Amino acid sequence: MKRLLPIILLATTLCIGCKPAWTAREREIIRDSDSLMYVTTIQADSAILRTPSVDLGPKELDSQELQTLLAKMLHTVTDPSQDGVGIAAPQVGINRRIILVQRFDKPGEPFEGYVNIRVDSLAGEIVTGREGCLSVPGLRGLVKRHSKIGISYTDISSHERVAEEVEGFTAVIFQHECDHLDGILYIDKADSLFISE
């Protein structure tokens, strides 16, 4: 046992800062959910929504689980019962830095997935707009957001970091979804809240 202790300590030290693999619970959510995933709500799932999300490592970036999760998140956010313009992984019970955003600033307004995403800079004028959230049903609010942001994320294929500037309504969506990854909901920033119709 004494001879194994240094090896165990070395392995533990080397793993500090390692990005965790998919957990058994994450695999279960990805595998067992149908294409329309359960959406977490502030009323029932506050702990998940308030927990900061972690990055994916190279193994997770190359995994079938990520591809399946992105496909199911896309189906969920575009389903008529949800009809959203963005979704973050914590909203389907997985605290990973993954979002899908509808790119209103691109031809065809496609949904695109982003992993290990961060908002690096906030610029432009501050605008107030109406926001809602799949995880806060029945409410809307007025929220101040920057009209121009800088983002960075990990390209799923190359594993390289990519930087991009985004403006307008799409920038608002990115800010809303990235807030989810930090355990923040739009109701935390809203100037006022009202019941949605």
Chain centroid, CA 132 distance in Å: 16
Q: Answer yes or no: are the C-beta atoms of 48 and 92 closer than 8 Å.
A: no
Write out the DSSP string of 64-119: HHHHHHHHHHHHHHHSTTT--SEEEGGGGT--BSEEEEE-TTSTT--EEEEEEEEE
- The tokens 């982003």 sit on which residue? 114
Q: How far apart are CA 142 and CA 196, in angstroms?
A: 12
112 is catalytic: no
Q: Which two tokens stand for residue 66?
A: 């990520």
The first and second tokens of residue 91, run together, are: 């909203």
Q: Which of 160, 165, 177, 197 is catalytic?
A: 177
From CA 129, how far away is CA 142, in angstroms rounded?
A: 5
Active site positions, annotated: 177
